[in-house]
Structure 1
């Protein structure tokens, strides 16, 4: 994969912005105490993506692994996320993916949100 020329600046902007506040029709975080925890974790994911993007060989596989590891940072049952919180987390993942032009999480984001990938062809009737 080729890293977009402005990726570094976009990562810096992403990591600097306030997260998990009411914005773009999204409600505020369900529990204010989660905001700094979630912000730190999503910024760690962005930093992992930034490192891959600046490496000599950024690949889809490396980004997919970063998504897998990143999602493990968000054990929703343990911290009590509601569906809006999970949705916000996924929107930030998508924003990070957009920075590097990654088109798909290979179903990982759906698995995180729904517990399965509804777009998978292996659906059971």
Structure 2
């Protein structure tokens, strides 16, 4: 029995190390980029994207994504930004779209994800750890690929 307890403790310890936060360095021009991001019109027609026609919904979507930008900015200026803190802000930000998810068509969901990617680029965050894929497709295709192997 003691052997099993030791194995469980070891596994829990290793899991804890695998989830440790990685400290990140905020780029010097991040505040300027956040301000530019918040100021720009969002969910409008550009390139192959038709935009959100309903002005009320466009305003709601814009407010939600701008809150994510503010959340990211608060982490960036906190003095101790970590990938884990940004991941949590992604989770919170995506959850803000839960009440309007059914009003987002595929192109709008793609646009939401692209805005998240812009914010991730501002701070140098390389991955959403599958959160954007789950938002977009309802599952993370990378996890499905791992399961097949």
Give TM class, smaller chain.
over 0.9
Aligned to 1:90: 113
Over 3 Å counting, the alpha-carbon distance change for 1:77 and 1:38 in structure 2 is: closer
Q: Residues of 2 paired with 1:73 and 1:32: CA distance? A: 19
In our comparison, the structure showing a higher alpha carbon Rg is: 2
What runs of 5+ residues in structure 1 fail to find an aligned partner?
none
For these two proteins, the number of residue pairs brought into alignment is 125
| Offset of residue 33 of structure 1 | 2.4
Structure number with the bigger relative contact order (C-alpha 8 A, sep ≥ 6) is 1
Corresponding residue number in structure 2 for 1:99: 122
Q: Distance in 1 between matches of 2:100 and 2:112?
A: 14
Structure 1-normalised TM-score? 0.92
Going from structure 1 to structure 2, the CA distance change for 1:17 and 1:77 (only over 3 Å counts) comes to closer
- The reply to whether residue 16 of structure 1 matches residue 44 of structure 2 is no
Residues in 2 aligned to 1:78 and 1:109: alpha-carbon distance in whole angstroms: 13
How far apart are the structure 2 equivalents of 1:75 and 1:4? 31
More helix by share: 2
8 Å Cα contact 1:30-1:82 kept in structure 2 = no
Q: Is the 8 A contact 1:4 1:99 kept in 2?
A: yes
Root-mean-square deviation (Å): 1.7
Name which of 71, 77, 94 aligns with 1:71.
94
Moved over 6 A (4+): none
Pair 1:46-2:82 in alignment: no
Any gaps of 5 or more consecutive residues in structure 2? 1-23
CA spacing shift, 1:118–1:7, aligned 2, 3 Å: same
